[in-house]
Amino acid sequence: MSVNEPQDNPDGYVGLDAAHAERLARERGWSTVRALAPGTIITMEYRFGRMNFEVRDGRVVRAWKG
């Protein structure tokens, strides 16, 4: 794994098809990519190298690191 996280803006994933967004994030170097349904209860710890997507109707509506 690289020492630095990918230099990537999570906002760039919003509006994309979820499967395409996941492929793109992995190509850009994110080691972990997870898709979550709106309202999913998650812990808020920061995980280096993880990109999170909130997905509604197959599209990314929110994206954030950690």
Whole-prediction pTM value? 0.88
Question: What is the per-residue DSSP string for 12-52?
Answer: GGTTSBHHHHHHHHHHTT-SEEEEE-TT--------TTEEE
Q: How confident is the model at residue 3 (pLDDT cuts 50, 70, 90)?
A: low
**Residue 54 pLDDT exceeds 50:** yes
Quick: pLDDT tens for 19-53: 999 999 999 999 999 999 999 999 888 899 999 99
**Residue 1 pLDDT exceeds 50:** no
Q: How confident is the model at residue 4 (pLDDT cuts 50, 70, 90)?
A: confident
